Amino acid sequence: MNVKVVDYRAPDAAERFTRSLHETGFGVLTNHPIPQDLVEKIYADWLRFFNSEEKFDYAFSMEKQDGWFSPEVSETAKGASLKDIKEYFHVYPWGRVPPALKADADRYYQVANQLARELLSWVQQYTPAAIAANYREPLSHMIEDSQQTLLRVLRYPPLTGKEPAGSLRAAAHGDINLLTILPAANEPGLQVQDKNGDWIDVPCDFGTLVVNIGDMLQEASAGFYPSTQHRVVNPSGEGAKKSRVSLPLFLHPRPEVVLSDRHSAGSYLDERLRELGVKM
């Protein structure tokens, strides 16, 4: 599988990007509107937070799903037996965020959300009519006034050599939501699975933006847009001594949005969170 990199500013960007999503489940954008200096500042500031004692004051809420998730309560990917080697913080505009980090997080959330809405409108525009007939409402309407869209600040800690055999920074999984917006991380490791089952390294050049399909869009499009399995593999050598920081925005509809005859967005999310072991 050739990774198709699309220039956001190109006249045919919407069509090429949407075709990539259909054919591979993900796309890579360059020259996009998310400020690189903001991303780099967030990486540096949150890495300091994860290395501090302050994080313990923000232990996650089982009910609201906001706050800090320690490595001990981190996700176990669907179908996996070992927890991922990571910790993370869930940022919602209504949720708890350390005061010193809130302004940048809110700005990023706003800018990335705005881009995500535009990309969703691209998908809507280039969905074949027979497939679009499955949508219970336009895709961009599904996220209007949503309180569920999640910004996750992820830290994969340096490896100690004592990790359980077979454990990964992030085991193979699909995302739950409609679209995931992911600026390049500070370290490599992200891979996606192609239709032949092979694992492909995703470019992590600073300035690139990876967008992948989530299970909810796969459900709403009756499989036309495939939710791609992806993972973060463990580094070796000098890379194993470094933290990896990542900043995915998971675009979620309002809970009452109907995805298909089987699921609303709310029922789908609850089912998946229970499977991940982070909700009762």
The 10s digit of each residue's pLDDT in 171-214 is 889 999 999 999 988 888 899 888 788 898 887 787 899 999 99
Nearest to 86 by CA among 199, 187, 212, 14: 187
Q: What is the pLDDT of residue 195?
A: 79
Output the six-digit token pair for 29: 């954008």
Q: Distance between CA 59 and CA 73 in Å, rounded? A: 10
Query: Is the whole model's pTM more than 0.75, yes or no?
Result: yes
Token pair 């037996």 is found at 81
Helices assigned H by DSSP within the chain: 13-24, 36-50, 99-125, 129-132, 139-142, 215-220, 265-276
Comparing 215 with 81, the larger pLDDT belongs to 215
Helix, strand, coil in percent for the chain, rounding step 5: 30, 20, 50
Phi then psi for 152, rounded to 5 degrees? -110, 125
* Residues spanned by the domain of 231: 5-276
Task: Inform me whether the pLDDT recorded for 246 exceeds 90.
Answer: yes
Span 117-135, average pLDDT: 95
CB count in 10 Å sphere of residue 228: 22
Give the total number of structural domains in the chain.
Answer: 1
Q: What is the CATH number of the domain that holds 180?
A: 2.60.120.330
Beta-carbon contacts of 129 under 8 Å, excluding residues fewer than 6 positions away, are none
Phi then psi for 74, rounded to 5 degrees? -60, 165
Task: Inform me whether the pLDDT recorded for 261 exceeds 80.
Answer: yes
Nearest to 109 by CA among 150, 72, 74, 71: 150
Q: What is the pLDDT of residue 280?
A: 56
**Please, what is the average pLDDT of the chain?**
91
Span 99-128, average pLDDT: 96
CA distances to 48, 50, 180, 232, 245 from 45, rounded to whole Å, are 5, 9, 22, 22, 11
Would you place residue 59 in the very low, low, confident or very high pLDDT band (cuts 50, 70, 90)? Answer: very high
Task: Inform me whether the pLDDT recorded for 279 exceeds 70.
Answer: no
Contact of 188 with 134, CB cutoff 8 Å: no
Task: Inform me whether the pLDDT recorded for 219 exceeds 80.
Answer: yes
Tens digit of pLDDT for each residue in 44-56? 999 999 999 999 9
